[in-house]
Amino acid sequence: MMEHIRITKRVKNTPTVVSLYFKWNVKVLPGQFVMVWVPGYGEVPMSLSQTEDEKCITVKAYGDSTKKLIETEAGEWIFLRGPYGKPFSSTSGNKLLIGGGSGMASLKPLIDRNTTGIIASRTFDELLFSDEFDEDHRIEVTEDGKKGIKGIVTDGIEAVNPEDFSMIYVCGPEKMLKAVYDKIKKLNVNAEFSMERSMKCGIGLCDSCSVDGFQVCVDGPVFNMKQLNGMTEFGTTRLLSSGKRVKI
Amino acid sequence: MMEHIRITKRVKNTPTVVSLYFKWNVKVLPGQFVMVWVPGYGEVPMSLSQTEDEKCITVKAYGDSTKKLIETEAGEWIFLRGPYGKPFSSTSGNKLLIGGGSGMASLKPLIDRNTTGIIASRTFDELLFSDEFDEDHRIEVTEDGKKGIKGIVTDGIEAVNPEDFSMIYVCGPEKMLKAVYDKIKKLNVNAEFSMERSMKCGIGLCDSCSVDGFQVCVDGPVFNMKQLNGMTEFGTTRLLSSGKRVKI
Amino acid sequence: MVSLAVKTGGVSFESPAILASGILDENGYTMKRVLEDGAGAVVTKSIGTEERNGYFSPVVVPEDTYLINAMGLPNPGIDSFEEEIKIALTAKKPVIGSIFASNTDDFLKLALKMQDFGVSAVELNLSCPHVQGFGSEVGSDPVLVKEIVKTLKGTIKIPVWSKLSPNVTSISEISRAASDSDALVLINTVRAMAIDIEARRPVLTNSYGGMSGTAIKPVGLRCVYEVRKETEIDIIGVGGISSYIDALEYIMAGASVFQIGTALMKYGRSIFMRITGDLEKYMISNGINNLEELVGVAVR
Amino acid sequence: MVSLAVKTGGVSFESPAILASGILDENGYTMKRVLEDGAGAVVTKSIGTEERNGYFSPVVVPEDTYLINAMGLPNPGIDSFEEEIKIALTAKKPVIGSIFASNTDDFLKLALKMQDFGVSAVELNLSCPHVQGFGSEVGSDPVLVKEIVKTLKGTIKIPVWSKLSPNVTSISEISRAASDSDALVLINTVRAMAIDIEARRPVLTNSYGGMSGTAIKPVGLRCVYEVRKETEIDIIGVGGISSYIDALEYIMAGASVFQIGTALMKYGRSIFMRITGDLEKYMISNGINNLEELVGVAVR
């Protein structure tokens, strides 16, 4: 069922990312997502970057639908259906969040006092939700090197001891997930990865987002290390919109 | 939804009437009815003559479906849907039950220590559920005069003072209901009448059983005196299966 | 000032919520009560030239989101039905006479009688999906449909509505054939069946029946939209409407007024007042003065 | 000893519960997992001669008792699909290749490739209700259907199944046209639409879509029954099956095996194991050794 919801607040987070806040009286857990419909433009899966009574989607403009969506002002309406997908596990211990690109959006609801963040992006002005972390719990990594560590996300991991955390949560492009996975797979850690694959239906039918027979939309988007272990497609191939198999 | 229910007991009540007992874990109130399907023969509305955990339908053979239905033995299965219709009101005071023909079947669940019954039938062997009443609370009326008062149901009413009862419940052919109604309408009494009209759908759609715009299957089968007051069709005309209007 | 009054298919209605043919419209007193309880008009049960008893029970299979029925066109015959129409007309609202026949002559004969009886329009049942020789067997033949509609339009004075079946390869083709009508009524029931695995047989005595209710709304909307895209003829929407939202969907797809039938199973006669009340509230909060403003706005 | 094994449409299955075309059958790894999770076979997504992206989202409208979809026949083109089939075949269960085309030559070309890839049968998509020039536009023309089926049967060695549309005036007529097939697959989705009153437009990017799920079961049962009444051809039932009761209804109406699709939305891949487990229990308590004993028993 399509919900019709009024945006209450619009915040620009980076030059290309906008957060839209709204009241929606439905239980959503960190890691779950909704399908947002922009009539006349398309429908896109969006993680929630806030999951309390007031909820939030954090949108990066990269296609027709999202370009239109980020123009939404407070007082305007959006359409969505959901929530869908399996959430992150909760943990009471200290957490390491690793977010690449706009990946930190779906990790944001997990942030508390026990949280350290590795925030990675291509350029310094694209670092997302860095300020949400205390200064001494924040590791910034940029490819342009204009802020924090110059490099990619795995370079940020060098700055911590992953085994110090009771859970590691990772979100970002699949290539990055694979790099992080490979880096920590031999360590004594618990980790969950939120996967982004191109999604059409969101309800486990169309097979667009599948990885090794699991549907990212219903079996995921959150997968743990055990589930990822031995997956043939993870980080290697995916299907295009047509169903054509391509390398990642 | 069609229920498939096993008959646990079969009792012959009169030469033409049989009671079929069954367990059915659904709440049914006195006066409500079910639609019983006899595959290959038809579907008929049946009041419940027992409405506790163990339920019962009391069947008089008058058409193909009911002729087949009364042959059902313990251990065999019946099909039914429901319950449907508005029940009798409950009352804590003393009650007068007036049942003509097989009409006493739907009144039977109301019988308790505070109940007087007027049981009417054409012949003495068709008196139904007479034994359910204490001997001094039982008024039998037969047209053949072989048992009880010789006459019709209204003659039985002469034997009581209707105003002595806190509620009068009546069930039988519409002509009889009308006669009873006319007899007691000027008295200071509360009365409810369970009406039988030919019924096809049982769910308020087909208009077969309607009386003055009310559907016997959903607005009834139980109507009180106020509802019957001023009804043009009550006791005068009804529609045949084709929808053709005929006199009652 | 919002107003629900509308003129469509050659008939003026105080309210766009009309009782669909086949439901609570065999007995004049029932039609009268439905009108008094808030229906903008009633369409009668389909009436033929001769008395018919219809099929033996079971004639309905009620489920949560749909109903399958095979009544078998029971009707007292046109002559006996005059009395019922006279009773219904005492409510002083439009009564539409639904008629069925297997040929043009009979349709004409029935329509002329209905006109004499004082109905506001006739609705041609070209779509009953479960009686041989009638309904959709007639209504799926474009040549016959064209002839029937043309003949009636050339002879009777009251408006002619054609109720069409979704059980055709192209609803557009049949709509074009019926385009001389004052309105198209879309849709009749979807041909369907229920089987009981314990009885190991179809539940309906007639085996086949017509499905109605919530489950067919997407089919009805599709038909209305498809026809609205290619014609300006008035459309009366019917199929699975049980709320003002359903009604608005039909209106935005191109219907001017709408009919309610199966929803009475769940909601009773009060549904007419509820839907029209909700429509008024919607109109006020959305600045709509007349529902005409919304007819077909979804079509692109 | 009860056995769910069955041979129908020229193919032997360990279990009668088959994955329907269009659901979880684009990616070879997914098909493999569905087979490992209990499906008796999978039918692939419909594959054409050229790569197609399908429609932009929204491509589905999920509701409680139905789904409307308009994917737009996305597929990588037949040549690229070989890899997926090879992966699926590692599960060592039958894979059926669904193909769509607008003419006989392309159907033949696709069928020959599918045969080369190692599928157990081809399923002709003569019924997709929402892409111009394909699917039901082909499948509602009896002459073309007859030609396509005849040509394929005369050339390829593997069995040919024809999946037909309920969106026709007479499913019997189309079934007769497709009677050279090894099996008929009944039914594809029902042409439908969803409109959003706030957006004032159809929800699907393509406007029209196909309805599937519980709501269309009565239509599927009717089609299977109607065709079974007049032919002995193997029938594969599909449309709204989500329990062993639904499956038995289709079997009693005349289907030998059945396909499951939309029910995966609510129940996930475990539905195959649940339904076959429930069927076994039913067979034991009803003294049925093989489901063949029940095929068509409701038909009268």
* Residue ranges per structural domain of chain B: 3-84, 88-194, 197-248
CB atoms near residue A38 (< 10 Å): 22
Q: Say if D77 is an interface residue toward chain A (CB within 8 Å).
A: yes
Average pLDDT of every residue of chain C:
96
Indicate which CATH number applies to the domain containing C39.
3.20.20.70
Among D57, D196, D198, select the one facing A200 at the smallest CB separation: D57
Percent of chain A predicted with pLDDT > 90: 96
Please give the C-alpha separations between residue D190 and each of B106, C61, C133, in angstroms, as whole numbers.
45, 21, 25
Task: Give mean pLDDT, residues D219-240.
Answer: 97
Model confidence pLDDT, tens digit, residues A190-228:
999 999 999 999 999 999 999 999 999 999 999 999 999
Q: Which pLDDT does position C138 carry in this prediction?
A: 85
In a domain, C228, yes or no: yes
Please give the backbone phi and psi of residue D235, each rounded to the nearest 5 degrees, phi first.
Answer: -120, 135
Catalytic choice (D128, D204, D264, D295): D128
Q: Which pLDDT does position C136 carry in this prediction?
A: 81
Model confidence pLDDT, tens digit, residues C247-268:
999 999 999 999 999 999 999 9
Which residues on D lie below 8 Å from A37 (Cβ)?
Answer: 57-58, 199, 203
Task: Give mean pLDDT, residues A167-174.
Answer: 97
In a domain, D300, yes or no: no
Model confidence pLDDT, tens digit, residues C157-191:
999 999 999 999 999 999 999 999 999 999 999 99
pLDDT at D1 over 80: no
Q: What's the number of CA atoms in the CB half-sphere (13 Å) around residue A27?
A: 2
Q: What CA–CA distance (Å, rounded) separates D257 from D15?
A: 8
Neighbours of chain A (3+ CB pairs under 8 A): D
Q: What CA–CA distance (Å, rounded) separates A93 from C71?
A: 67
In a domain, C300, yes or no: no
pLDDT class of D139 with cuts at 50, 70, 90: confident
Model confidence pLDDT, tens digit, residues C51-100:
999 999 999 999 999 999 999 999 999 999 999 999 999 999 999 999 99
pLDDT at B92 over 90: no
pLDDT at C137 over 90: no
Instruction: Determine C/B contact with 3+ CB pairs under 8 A as the test.
Output: yes
Q: DSSP E strands: which ranges in D100-202?
A: 121-125, 160-164, 183-186, 190-193, 195-196, 201-202
Q: What CA–CA distance (Å, rounded) separates A210 from D25?
A: 10
Write the secondary structure of C60-83 as one string of H (helix), E (strand) and C (coil): EEECCCCEEECCCCCECCHHHHHH
Q: Which pLDDT does position A161 carry in this prediction?
A: 95
CA-based torsion, A106, A112, A115, A120: positive or negative = positive
Between helix D244-253 and helix D271-286 the angle, nearest 10°, is: 60
Please give the C-alpha separations between residue A179 and each of A115, A139, A170, A182, A222, in angstroms, as whole numbers.
21, 17, 11, 5, 17
Please give the C-alpha separations between residue C267 and each of B29, B205, C58, C243, D175, in angstroms, as whole numbers.
21, 11, 22, 10, 40
Model confidence pLDDT, tens digit, residues A84-103:
999 999 998 999 999 999 99
Range B3-84: architecture per CATH:
Beta Barrel (2.40)
CA D109 to chain A, closest CA, distance in angstroms equals: 19
Q: Which pLDDT does position D71 carry in this prediction?
A: 96
pLDDT at D138 over 90: no
CATH number of B88-194: 3.40.50.80
pLDDT at D136 over 90: no
ipTM over 0.90: yes
Q: C1 vs B96, which has greater pLDDT?
A: B96
Contact of C35 with C15, CB cutoff 8 Å: no
Task: Give mean pLDDT, residues B120-129.
Answer: 94
pLDDT at A114 over 90: no
Percent of chain D predicted with pLDDT > 90: 95
pLDDT at B183 over 90: yes
Q: Which pLDDT does position C240 carry in this prediction?
A: 98
pLDDT at D130 over 90: no
Average pLDDT of every residue of chain A:
95
Domain span at C56:
6-294
Q: Which pLDDT does position A225 carry in this prediction?
A: 96
Q: Which pLDDT does position D256 carry in this prediction?
A: 98
| A171 marked among binding-site residues | no
Q: Which pLDDT does position B143 carry in this prediction?
A: 93
Task: Give mean pLDDT, residues A25-33.
Answer: 97
pLDDT class of C130 with cuts at 50, 70, 90: confident
Q: What CA–CA distance (Å, rounded) separates B208 from D139?
A: 42
Q: Which pLDDT does position B114 carry in this prediction?
A: 87
Model confidence pLDDT, tens digit, residues C1-49:
789 999 999 999 999 999 999 999 999 999 999 999 999 999 999 999 9
Q: Which pLDDT does position A113 carry in this prediction?
A: 86
Model confidence pLDDT, tens digit, residues D193-226:
999 999 999 999 999 999 999 999 999 999 999 9
Q: Which pLDDT does position B62 carry in this prediction?
A: 87
pLDDT class of D123 with cuts at 50, 70, 90: very high
pLDDT class of B151 with cuts at 50, 70, 90: very high
Q: Which pLDDT does position A219 carry in this prediction?
A: 97
Q: Which pLDDT does position B20 carry in this prediction?
A: 98
Q: Which pLDDT does position A70 carry in this prediction?
A: 95
| CB < 8 Å from A in window 113-172 of D | none
pLDDT class of C131 with cuts at 50, 70, 90: confident
Cβ separation B79–C77 shorter than 8 A: no
Which residues on B lie below 8 Å from C32 (Cβ)?
Answer: 213
| C45 marked among binding-site residues | yes
Instruction: Determine A/B contact with 3+ CB pairs under 8 A as the test.
Output: no
Strand-pairing partners, residue A51, are A55
Percent of chain B predicted with pLDDT > 90: 96
Among A35, A42, A213, select the one facing D32 at the smallest CB separation: A213
pLDDT at A123 over 80: yes
Q: Which pLDDT does position A92 carry in this prediction?
A: 87
The answer to whether residue D223 is catalytic is no
pLDDT class of A150 with cuts at 50, 70, 90: very high
In a domain, D299, yes or no: no
| B56 marked among binding-site residues | no
Q: Which pLDDT does position C129 carry in this prediction?
A: 77
**Which residue in B209, B236, B241, B246 has the most chain C C-beta atoms within 10 A of its own C-beta, making it the best mutation to test that interface?**
B241
Which residues on C lie below 8 Å from D194 (Cβ)?
Answer: 218, 221
Q: What CA–CA distance (Å, rounded) separates D267 from C131?
A: 38
In a domain, C85, yes or no: yes
Which residues on D lie below 8 Å from A244 (Cβ)?
Answer: 51, 76-77, 80
How many structural domains are present in chain C?
A: 1
